[in-house]
Amino acid sequence: MATERLSMGKTREILRLKWDLGRSHREVAQSLGVSVGVVGSTVRRAQAQGINWGAVLALTDDDLERRLYVPRLVAGAQRPLPDCAVLDLERRKPGVTLALLHLEYLEQHPDGYRYTQFCEIYRRWLKRRRLTMRQTHRAGEKLFVDYAGQKPHLVDPKNGECIAVELFVAALGASNFTYAEATLTQRGPDWIQSHVRTFGELGGVPWAVVPDQLKTGVTTPCRYEPGVQRTYQELAEHYGTVILPARPAKPRDKAKVEAAAVQVAERWILARLRHETFFSLDTLIGSRRRPGRTGVHAPPCHWRSAVCQISTSPTMARGGGGLCYSCPIAPRHRSRYASFAFAACRFDLQRRAEATGSSVAAHARGPEQWDNYSIIAGELEH
């Protein structure tokens, strides 16, 4: 906040005590109740303008103020605004800073904004200039998947410990049809099987799946060429679809699942189950709750095993709201995908490998090779 300007009465008195009576800075400051710095700055300002005590006596208060200080702005007067578009272009040039641009602005407009307000005007303009790409979704084209921030909880019946589980959410781009299910973890088997069950509920496979760049699905995070996890890539090849990870730290790339689907799952599933206590994942998934008969319809969402079946009325689903309960996705593969785990095995002279409790015989072409193991009921089979 700017320091309040001294009145002309105090300014005259400071100059009188200094020049007419010859008092020191400290004595003048104690006499008038101001700081020593104020006394010094007032005297220096008058000397810089070539004013002496005789000139002070000859000048009126208004004339003295105009000689010592920059003229005050008239109330309601508009200062010239800086051209923020030009500033933005100039800032991209090497060595150009806002401080330099402000000095050039003051050369053209001496009564313009000071540096702090100059920067604030430019920053407000930048916020309004944030570009956002509008996505056009076609029916059956993309399925957006993610995990919700809020998590369901299980209670351990042995010690009463509260265990957080994951909430997997998937949403179709065109219809906003939302599928949600609870899983124990975000690890590979749960991640893959959540996709398999999602495709089963949809009755087909979208042309592309858009996940976040989480470690379960993406091994090498990258803005341009992310490395998709091997099992996840095999899932896509099995169903004839493609994995298109969103850019790192760009949630708007999958805004459908971020804003619409996750909010629907948290508000219409987790909020309805907030008073329930579950002791196992099976009881959480197998519980059946339906919306009350209030006449209010929720957005289209399906919770696996009907934990909370939320749907719109046929008129809303087909009408002007643009919501469609089913989406014409492609039924490309009828067989169910089986998860795979990959392990690097080193074979001994007998060409046998030990893999998590099961011995697997293989014909090795070298000292080390990759093998697939199908996960069936928690056991590994070649």
- How does pLDDT run across 180-239, given as a tens digit for each residue? 888 999 999 999 999 999 998 888 899 999 998 898 899 988 888 899 999 999 999 999
Of 31-40, 261-270, 310-319, 353-362, minimum mean pLDDT range: 310-319
Q: List, in sequence order, every residue forming a beta bridge with 228; answer none if it has no partner.
A: 218
More confident residue, 166 or 299: 166
Q: What percent of the chain has pLDDT over 70?
A: 72
Angle, alpha carbons 140-245-182 (nearest 5°):
75
For every residue of 264-296, DSSP letters joined together read HHIIIIITTTTT---SSHHHHHH--B---SSSP
Confidence at residue 314, expressed as pLDDT on a 0 to 100 scale: 26
Distance linking the first and last C-alpha atoms of the chain: 74
Are the C-beta atoms of 253 and 210 separated by less than 8 Å?
Answer: yes
Asked if pLDDT for residue 25 goes beyond 50, the answer is: yes
pLDDT in tens, 243-302: 999 988 887 788 888 776 677 777 778 888 888 888 888 778 765 444 333 334 445 455
Give domain 8-68's CATH number out of 3.30.70, 1.10.3470, 1.10.10, 1.20.140.
1.10.10
pLDDT at 315 over 60: no
Give the per-residue pLDDT at 151.
Answer: 86
pLDDT at 112 over 70: yes
Whole-number Å distance between alpha carbons of 145 and 170: 4
pTM: 0.54
- Cβ burial of 72 (10 Å; 0-12, 13-18, 19+) is exposed
The full set of domain ranges for the chain reads: 8-68, 84-128, 142-318, 340-381
Pairing of strands 368-376, 166-172: unpaired
Tokens 């920059």 belong to which residue? Answer: 70
The C-alpha atoms of residue 186 and residue 184 are separated, in whole angstroms, by 7
Over residues 105-132, the mean pLDDT reads 88
Range 142-318 classified under CATH 3.40.190.10: no
- As a whole number, mean pLDDT of residues 16-26 equals 87
